[in-house]
Amino acid sequence: MSTQNEQRLDVDVSVVGLGAMGTIMAHAFLKQGKRVAVWNRSPGKAAALVAAGAQLCDSAHAALSASPVTVFVLLDDQATHGVLGMPGVMAALAGRTVIDYTTNGRDEGLALQALVNAAGGLYVKGMIVAYPRNVGHRQSHTLHTGDREGFEQHRALLEALAGQTMFLPWDEALAFATVLHAQAFATMMAFFEAVGASERFGLPVAETARLLLDTSRFFISDALEEAVRRLEAQDFAGDQARLDVHAGAFAHIAQALHAQGAWTPVFDAVCGVVQRAESMGHGDQDIVAATQVFAAANPPETAAQRPV
């Protein structure tokens, strides 16, 4: 096994933390021909990477010293501070960039940026919009904030992780990440709910899941494209299908689901939203007018919000 002691390596990027995501990120860099140094508390996790050409460092300090940029992919904020507190690490930050994909909050990220900056380094907070299997995919996205200089210096390197990468200021980046993940996982849960409910109708689950995916792909993609167009143009005309028409159809769908004993909290919430939008006077508009329900200053109280 190839190891390196406390010496500077001629490598392009170091990766600290070799869990599922860190390991696949390191492999993605190697596949793009990058020279990669790695470090992990449990060095055995690096065996496959070393076999693929990575250099294994025997300390976090050696990993940071090895290259101009180090990617952190650690368990949590506590683990990150643990690494930064290791011998020699803070001194090694001077003149280098840390790109941190560890999950943490705004305050934790800003504190880390201040810490790295005080040591003479640059800090970039990264968020990857992909499961490990799609790291390196040209259609995957990464979102970054923190020190723009560090991001711009290493943008080309980061494109090895995702074909689409962007940088936003801290507050904008975190707000966008919040609504992005809320939308993505709500979409997934709606799919899971429909697949689960199909079993109540006696449909074969796996086959129905595939059929739902294939049948809805264009319909949903086109509907979202049309929604963006209407929002950009502020065009809410109900020329395709009015919101009140949707509300009536949704009531029939909900009745059919409930009649089979299906538990459908996601679709029930959808019905509640369109009913609320209709009560706000949007019944004769396109369903995209439902955005006004969520933008309202005083949203309706939900069952989850009510005190027990």
Residue 126 neighbours by CB distance under 10 Å: 25
Mean pLDDT, the chain, as a whole number? 94
Spatial distance between the Cα atoms of 306 and 308, rounded to a whole number of angstroms: 6
Higher-scoring residue by pLDDT: 165, 306 = 165
Q: Please list the residue range(s) of the chain that carry CATH number 1.10.1040.10.
A: 174-295
Arch. (CATH architecture) of 3-167 = 3-Layer(aba) Sandwich (3.40)
DSSP state for residue 302 in the 8-state scheme: P
- In tens, the pLDDT along 9-52 reads 589 999 999 999 999 999 999 999 999 999 999 999 999 999 99
Which residue, chain included where needed, has tokens 């696949």?
Answer: 24
Predicted local confidence at residue 10, as pLDDT? 84
Spatial distance between the Cα atoms of 54 and 40, rounded to a whole number of angstroms: 13
pTM higher than 0.75 for the full model? yes
Which residue, chain included where needed, has tokens 């009649």?
Answer: 259
Residue 161 confidence (pLDDT) above 80:
yes
Helices 170-200 and 205-233: crossing angle in degrees, nearest 10, is 140
Q: Please list the residue range(s) of the chain that carry CATH number 3.40.50.720.
A: 3-167
Residue 6 confidence (pLDDT) above 50:
no
Write down the CATH number for the domain with range 174-295.
1.10.1040.10
pLDDT class for 306, splitting at 50, 70, 90?
Answer: very low
Helix (H, G, I), strand (E, B) or coil at 98: strand
Higher-scoring residue by pLDDT: 303, 195 = 195
Residue 232 confidence (pLDDT) above 70:
yes
DSSP state for residue 239 in the 8-state scheme: S
Which residue, chain included where needed, has tokens 């508009």?
Answer: 285
Which residues have C-beta within 8 Å of that of residue 188, sequence separation ≥ 6?
Answer: none
Candidate ranges 7-21, 253-267, 284-298; pick with highest mean pLDDT: 253-267
Q: Is residue 8 within a helix (H) or strand (E), and if so which, with residue range?
A: none
Range list of β-strands (E), the chain: 3-4, 13-16, 36-39, 55-57, 69-72, 97-100, 122-129, 141-146, 164-167
Residue 7 confidence (pLDDT) above 60:
no
**Average pLDDT, stretch 154-168?**
98
